[in-house]
A and B are shown apart, each in its own frame.
Chain A
Amino acid sequence: MALALELDQVSRSYGAVVAVDSVSLDVEGGEFVTLLGPSGSGKTTTLRLIGGFERPNGGAISIAGRRVDHLPPYKRNTATIFQSGALFPHKTVAENIAYGLRMHAMNPSLIRERVGEALGIVQMGGFEERYPSQLSGGQKQRVALARSLALRPSLLLFDEPLSALDLSLRLQLRADIKRLHDELQFTAIYVTHDQSEAMAMSSRVAIMNCGRIEQVAPPQQIYNEPANEFVYSFIGESCCLPVRIDDGAARDQQGRPVDIRLAEPPSSGAWRLYLRPSRIRIGNEAHGCANTARGRVRFTEFLGDFNRYHLVAGGLEFFCDRAGERQYQIGEEVEAGWDTGDMKVFAA
């Protein structure tokens, strides 16, 4: 069976600025693939290339086995959910949803049936005669979703559809989209800069940076086995320790020795050690860890579920999280420890 979407070395540049730099991506039917990256990483441009709102400078885009990169949006079997919703303000909810079906010359009774069905799916039954100006932000996005779903496209494209909503609504709609995907098994490309959104919804996440895809993998793999330093530092929180290793002894960048003991120190040279603050143990819990560092508490932050201790060891600064009451005071010397598996080492 043909792939739902196939990007082959797709590029797009604006003058000297390369927005998308030979991106390749294969998506199978029923997958939920998220393009995640910082702003300016080319994720939205990639989505717009798939939707047909931009034309690539090079490469090939195929949807369900058919080359589409020469086709305008209205000849592609995709449906986009825009950040603003982009509902037609002069049409009612029902007319908005019927729009795409009418354009495909479907007969009126079937259109009515599909509109009702789509509204039911997004739990917006009874809103048929409302105008978009009479809906809340969340309701608008539900209608936009229904408008796209009603077409039953081979590919649903989400362009940061939740970023304009407030947090609680965002979480709720996120769960709704996830549930709909489980039920309807549509194929989706979802653009976001919100990593928790990407982690929660996706079957695979594509991390983008500077117009390139850095890694494509299921969320767990992205988090636990990042392909490179960018992915590691972009996903989740991390501490970075830039060190120089001389015969197994660690020094800071100024060359002063620091009290860090590594079980398996890398060869001599400059390295960046990355640690997840949630995996660093501190105080008594650090005893027996393969790797340890002694540091002084610079300041602490209360973050609800846990306290964050900012430690300084020589010229190195890092932080670790610990649940419960605040135990260490500013200026106190403490030991931090971690397992070798929880540390990533990248050459500086």
Chain B
Amino acid sequence: MSGAQQVTSAGHRDAMLARPAMKFERLVPWALVAPALVIALVFFGLPILNTLRMSFNLHVDQRVYVPGFTLDQYWMLVKNPIFSGSILTTVKLSLICAFSAVTIGYGFALLVWIGPPLWRVGFIGLALCPLLISEISIIFGWWMFFPKTGLLSHTLLSAGLIEDRFSLMYTEFAALVGLTYLTLPFSFFIILSILDGIDKRLLEASSDLGAGPLTTFREVMLPLTWPGMLVAFAHAFIWAMGTYATPSALGPDTLWTIGFLVQEQMLGRHNWPMASALAIVLVVGVASIMLLMRRLMARGGRFHD
């Protein structure tokens, strides 16, 4: 060390001391997210990478898989109407389910938001119920509801609304109802949380300025709740895309969703590469929905800055 460096000014010395501190400060956020990041990478990132790799393997001689590289599986997804059809079916089912969940959830959330305080307790309690029961138990519930001898048919018959018993079991409608029921509580809570952030005086102000109830809904409520509706929609859609048990147990045998085919290829046909390719389609589909929602949200939420 030279003599000149030893006689540093006080300010210089402070800067020297501050430098490692700044480095440390920059590390703090990373240190804080590290545990979550590690878990995400190890338990979610690696399996997905593994699945991606698996989807390029060969499937020959009825063996589970043969290491190699081929795009056959993805080509099959496009070419084979069973696979392409199942993708379309899943997307259609999920879209209708998400749409119903958001619409019904919005209605209930509005009732809770506008209605008396007692309704809030009641509806929130009701909405929590399905979350406390496992999907399988709920399916058993539907099995007692939809068949010819089930509660629905019996009730309508006793009420004199229908002439003969009927069954809705194993129909696409039953599958849709089942899926919507699963996603409805989440839509309800997401939309309610958005509504709770809105000043109710806005409705009065709108009415006061000459807008009828429908105009108020279109001009004030829809734009303000749009972000919440998007989140609820995305949530219900993603959930419905990935759900396997409910559509399989309630829908017709011909209702082949991606989830059903993954199971079928994996366990029935012992074709792991095909099952993986289908799974990758799901992951990519869900990821693109998330990205699309983010873009739509950014556009809708610009007044918040």
Contacts and interface: CB of A to CB of B under 8 A. Distances in A.
A99 B223 CA distance: 14
Interface string B203-230: 0111111111001000110011000000
Interface in A101-137: 103-104, 131, 133
7 contacts: A73-B208, A84-B201, A86-B205, A89-B304, A90-B303, A99-B219, A133-B304
The prevalent SS among residues of B at the interface is: helix
A42 interface: no
Given A74-B212, A78-B208, A86 B303 contact: no
Contacts, number: 67
Interface in A183-206: none
B16 to A, nearest CB: 42
Interface in A59-90: 72-74, 78-80, 82, 84, 86-90
Contacts of A147: 209
A84 B201 CA distance: 8
Given A86-B202, A90-B303, 19 more contacts: A52-B207, A52-B208, A53-B208, A72-B207, A74-B207, A74-B209, A74-B212, A78-B208, A86-B199, A86-B201, A86-B204, A86-B205, A89-B202, A89-B304, A91-B303, A103-B211, A131-B305, A133-B304, A133-B305
B54 to A, nearest CB: 47
Contacts of A73: 204, 207-208
A80 B205 contact: yes
A53 to B, nearest CB: 5
Interface residues of A, number: 25
Nearest to B304: A133
Given A88-B205, A89-B303, A100 B210 contact: yes
Contacts of B207: 52-53, 72-74
Nearest to B205: A86
Interface in A36-55: 51-53
Nearest to A147: B209
A239 B248 CA distance: 82
A51 B208 contact: yes
A89 B224 contact: yes
A153 B43 CA distance: 64
Contacts of A88: 202, 205-206, 219-220
Contact of B209 (A53, A131, A151): A151
A66 B172 CA distance: 57
A35 B240 CA distance: 56
Contacts of A51: 204, 208
Nearest to A78: B208
A78 B204 CA distance: 12
A100 B207 CA distance: 9
Contacts of A84: 199, 201
Contacts of B211: 74, 99, 103
B208 A80 contact: yes
Contacts of B215: 103
A104 B303 contact: no
B210 A82 contact: no
A267 to B, nearest CB: 53
A86 to B, nearest CB: 4
A82 B209 contact: no
Contacts of A89: 202, 224, 303-304
A104 B209 CA distance: 9
Contacts of B205: 80, 82, 86-88
Given A103-B209, A103-B215, A53 B303 contact: no
